[in-house]
Amino acid sequence: MADVRGGAIIREEESSVGSVCLNAHSFDGFIREYAGRFGANVDTIKRTLKESGLVINYVRYSVGTGYAFSSYIVPAPFLEDEFVEMLTPPEEMKVEGAPAEVKRKVVTEVEKPEWKKLEEIVRDVLIDLGFSARTNERLRSRGRGEIEVDVWADKRISGTKFYVYASCKYWNKDVDRRIIDEEFGRTLQLIDILHLKIFIAKRLTEPAKSTALADGFIVIELGEKASMENPEEIYNIVYSHLKGTLRRNRTSRTPENRQRGKGDLRKA
């Protein structure tokens, strides 16, 4: 990701929200060079990048010539400073001849970063609220590809599947509006109709929060006090918000309220 930001791969274009479209030939050449430098398999690297969602293969077809043109898209959030820093190996892993037990300990910590813990907490909250929930669910999009969702949940209510989309951003900086715009765009690409959209972060800028609420997201700000050293506090914050939201939704759909709404409509 740092090499992409630094211009090591030729860019074809860049979206208004910061996503980058890379030239396929330049991308393939970079991967081959990287694989040769570290003794890795080219196909394995490309497959891993695609399956992780870090890179999206985009194919365009020319009606006139019948040829297909391939590009690679890197979504904007993966080019953020915090994400790139998270991918950088700790200094302990770079030390030659480090004891095996030290290496194992560092790898364990890297495999479970804080953003992953937040996703798991949100998943557990939704399960405790009666939903079937999964993290990093890959869903069909209206295009030809797939979209990976941080937390995806569903529940059958009165014969209808109730779908929940949750985006989790455990960042040390405020989430700005362009991230909200990108998340909203992702929800529009999903085939399934969403009944509840949730955006969870430590903090959002005021424009980002206003936009998220206008786009129909339930916004949960954890604040600085919420730390992964105290996951129970984060669980309670998320659980309280979502339980209250679901209760209000159920109340607004009761027969009494629906009948009252009809009466108000007739008066109008």
User: Do 187 and 76 share a structural domain?
Assistant: no
Picking from 63, 46, 40, 55, the residue whose alpha carbon sits closest to that of residue 4 is 55
- Amino acid at site 81: D
Q: Please list, in sequence order, all residues whose beta carbon lies within 8 angstroms of the beta carbon of residue 132, skipping any fewer than 6 positions away.
A: 153, 154, 155
Do 82 and 118 share a domain, yes or no?
no
**Is 185 a member of any domain?**
yes
The total number of structural domains that make up the chain: 2
20: containing domain = 2-88
What pLDDT does 125 receive?
93
- Is residue 197 domain-resident? yes
Do 121 and 69 share a structural domain? no
Q: 65 vs 204, which has greater pLDDT?
A: 204
The residues, ordered by sequence, that sit 6+ positions from 171 with a Cβ below 8 Å of its Cβ are 80, 82, 115, 201, 202
Q: Does 176 share its domain with 249?
A: yes
- pLDDT given for residue 110 in this prediction: 41
Q: Which of 102-106, 177-181, 242-246 has the highest mean pLDDT?
A: 177-181
Q: CA-CA distance, 48 to 45, in Å (whole number)?
A: 5
Which of helix, strand or coil describes residue 129? coil
Closest CA to 179 of 222, 137, 208, 202: 208
Q: What is the mean pLDDT of residues 232-247?
A: 88
pLDDT per residue as tens digits for the range 116-159: 889 999 999 999 999 999 999 988 888 778 889 999 999 987 78
Q: What is the pLDDT of residues 66-82, one digit of tens each?
A: 555 667 788 877 777 76
Position with higher pLDDT, 32 vs 154? 154
* pLDDT tens by residue, 189-227: 998 889 999 999 999 999 999 999 999 999 999 986 667
Quick check: 107 pLDDT over 70? no
pLDDT attached to residue 24: 76
Give dist(CA 116, CA 150) in Å, integer: 9
128 and 176 in a single domain? The answer is yes
Same domain flag for 151 and 244: yes
Average pLDDT over residues 154-176: 89
Residue at 101 is within a domain: no
Same domain, 39 and 129: no
Q: Which of 35-49, 174-188, 246-260 is least confident? A: 246-260
Share of the chain above pLDDT 90, in %: 29
pTM of the model: 0.53
Does residue 107 lie within any of the structural domains? Answer: no
The whole-number average pLDDT for the span 219-246 is: 85
Indicate whether 180 and 62 sit together in one domain: no
Based on the domain organization, do 17 and 79 belong to the same domain?
yes
* C-alpha–C-alpha distance, residues 197 and 218, integer Å: 6
pLDDT of res. 30 = 80
User: In this predicted structure, what is the pLDDT of residue 180?
Assistant: 94
Are 242 and 142 in a shared domain?
Answer: yes
Instruction: Tell me whether residue 262 is in a domain.
Output: no
Residues 207, 243 within the same domain: yes
Say if residue 191 is in the same domain as residue 246. Answer: yes
Residue 94 lies in a domain: no
Residue 18 domain-assigned (yes or no): yes
Tell me the C-alpha to C-alpha distance, in Å, between residue 218 and each of 47, 95, 209, 221: 34, 45, 10, 10
CATH number at residue 212: 3.40.1350.10
How many other CB atoms are there within 10 angstroms of residue 252's CB atom?
Answer: 10
